[in-house]
């Protein structure tokens, strides 16, 4: 009978980076011959039909030969299953946003993040723990995890969906009409991602460098009070005709926005990985990003990273990247080199290494 490997997450949803990682790992486990199963606390929007509610894991909770991968990215009651389980247990930490980012906007999310961060040290009794970035692994150490029982397992760059999806030709024509310069950021509209700074940087660029420009903010809006603050800022800066908030979009639309983008701008103050950085690399878009949180670990030496939020200086830099084609090509080349380091085969080797830490035979042997 094949070895059973279970994966438990919280809310499983299409387009979510953690869900994508769970699905990518499941694909490898199945291909390597394991009996792989995915569970979540909410699966109505799960992108894989075989996903089950986390309660379906209960019959396996005492199976000491099984392996459990627990993806921790938000406080969820199914942490009790992980703590109770007698499987060989691996924690995969995707980071939890510090609660203070939500404090001015939503007490519920602030409380949820506080709960999640308080719980983290109590999960350290697992057999092995990984962060999906070195930044997250270092945070595990700060929370009491043993250094020799931690590692890094990066996100798989799942671009097959982009390759299969047809872009929206009509939308692309509208976005590129009149040779508009499109500045793009992709991510849910959350305070830690500093959308107000994105808007202020763009204001300087749009007003003083290139008025024929548009800022595309591609991501779900879920915090009404934060949304209002951003909308008021847009009106105050007279940018209503130059900024697009997409809210939730399809993969087809997302591909179209990437194809239309001339530059990817990230002002986030806290990221656990920032998967859209890899997507921007894949589409060959030069990146300008705030060197905060996991961003320096994800980018390495790729792209252009800044530490100080000097809006006028950044606006001039963006203008230079649009005009200086030699510099632009060099930056894109560094990003391609960095992207090669996230090649699926390399991440698969890291997944094999993680499984070996709990005594699971190398999948490479199963392959051949």
d(CA 314, CA 213): 15
Q: Is the dihedral of CA 64, 69, 72, 78 positive or negative?
A: negative
Nearby residues of 223 by Cβ (< 8 Å), 6 or more positions away: 102, 105, 106, 109, 189, 190, 191
Nearby residues of 259 by Cβ (< 8 Å), 6 or more positions away: 167, 172, 283
In this structure, are residues 272 and 132 in contact, taking their beta carbons and an 8 Å threshold? yes
Could you list the pLDDT tens digit for every one of the 368 residues in the chain?
899 999 999 999 988 999 999 999 999 999 999 999 999 999 999 999 999 999 999 999 999 999 999 999 999 999 999 999 999 999 999 999 999 999 999 999 999 999 999 999 999 999 999 999 999 999 999 999 999 999 999 999 888 889 999 999 999 999 999 999 999 999 999 999 999 999 999 999 999 999 999 999 999 999 999 999 999 999 999 999 999 999 999 999 999 999 999 999 999 999 999 999 999 999 999 999 999 999 999 999 999 999 999 999 999 999 999 999 999 999 999 999 999 999 999 999 999 999 999 999 755 544 43
Pick the CATH number of 4-157+343-362 from 3.40.50.720, 3.40.50.300, 3.40.50.2000, 3.20.20.140: 3.40.50.2000
Domain 164-340 adopts which CATH fold? Rossmann fold (3.40.50)
Task: Name the one residue in this structure whose structure tokens are 């595309």.
Answer: 216
d(CA 79, CA 95): 15
Backbone angles phi, psi at 72, to 5 degrees: -110, 110
Q: Where in the chain is the domain with CATH 3.40.50.2000?
A: 4-157+343-362, 164-340
Task: Name the one residue in this structure whose structure tokens are 């390759």.
Answer: 163
In this structure, are residues 94 and 76 in contact, taking their beta carbons and an 8 Å threshold? no
């Amino acid at each position: 009978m094949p070895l059973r490997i279970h994966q438990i997450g919280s809310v499983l949803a299409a387009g979510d980076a953690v869900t994508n990682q769970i699905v990518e790992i499941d694909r490898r486990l199945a291909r390597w011959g394991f009996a792989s199963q995915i569970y979540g606390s909410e699966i109505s929007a799960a992108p894989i039909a075989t996903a089950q509610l986390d309660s379906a894991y209960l019959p396996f909770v005492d199976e000491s030969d099984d392996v459990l991968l627990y993806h921790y990215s938000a406080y969820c009651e199914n942490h009790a299953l992980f703590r109770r389980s007698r499987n060989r247990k691996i924690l995969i930490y995707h980071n939890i946003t510090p609660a203070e980012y939500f404090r001015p906007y939503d007490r519920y999310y602030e409380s949820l993040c506080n709960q999640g961060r308080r719980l983290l040290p109590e999960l350290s009794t697992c057999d092995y723990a990984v962060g999906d970035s070195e930044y997250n692994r270092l945070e595990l150490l700060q929370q009491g995890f043993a250094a020799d029982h931690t590692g890094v397992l990066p996100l798989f760059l799942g671009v097959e969906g982009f390759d299969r999806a047809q872009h929206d030709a009509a939308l692309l024509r509208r976005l590129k009409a009149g040779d508009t310069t499109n500045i793009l950021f992709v991510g849910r509209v959350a305070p830690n991602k500093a959308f107000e700074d994105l808007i202020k940087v763009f204001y300087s660029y749009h007003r003083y460098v290139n008025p024929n420009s548009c800022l595309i903010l591609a991501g779900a809006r879920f915090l009404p009070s934060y949304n209002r603050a951003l909308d008021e800022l847009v009106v105050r800066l007279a940018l209503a005709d130059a900024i697009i908030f997409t809210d939730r979009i399809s993969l087809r639309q997302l591909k179209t926005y990437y194809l239309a983008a001339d530059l990817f701008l990230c002002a986030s103050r806290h990221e656990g990985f920032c998967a859209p950085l890899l997507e921007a690399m894949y589409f060959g878009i030069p990146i300008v990003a705030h060197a905060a949180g996991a961003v320096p670990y994800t980018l390495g030496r790729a792209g252009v990273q800044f530490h100080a939020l000097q809006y006028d200086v950044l606006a001039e830099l963006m203008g230079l990247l649009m005009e200086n084609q030699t510099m632009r090509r060099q930056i894109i080349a560094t990003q391609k080199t960095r992207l090669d380091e996230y090649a699926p085969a390399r991440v698969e080797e890291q997944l094999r290494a993680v499984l070996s830490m709990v005594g699971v035979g190398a999948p490479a042997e199963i392959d051949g």
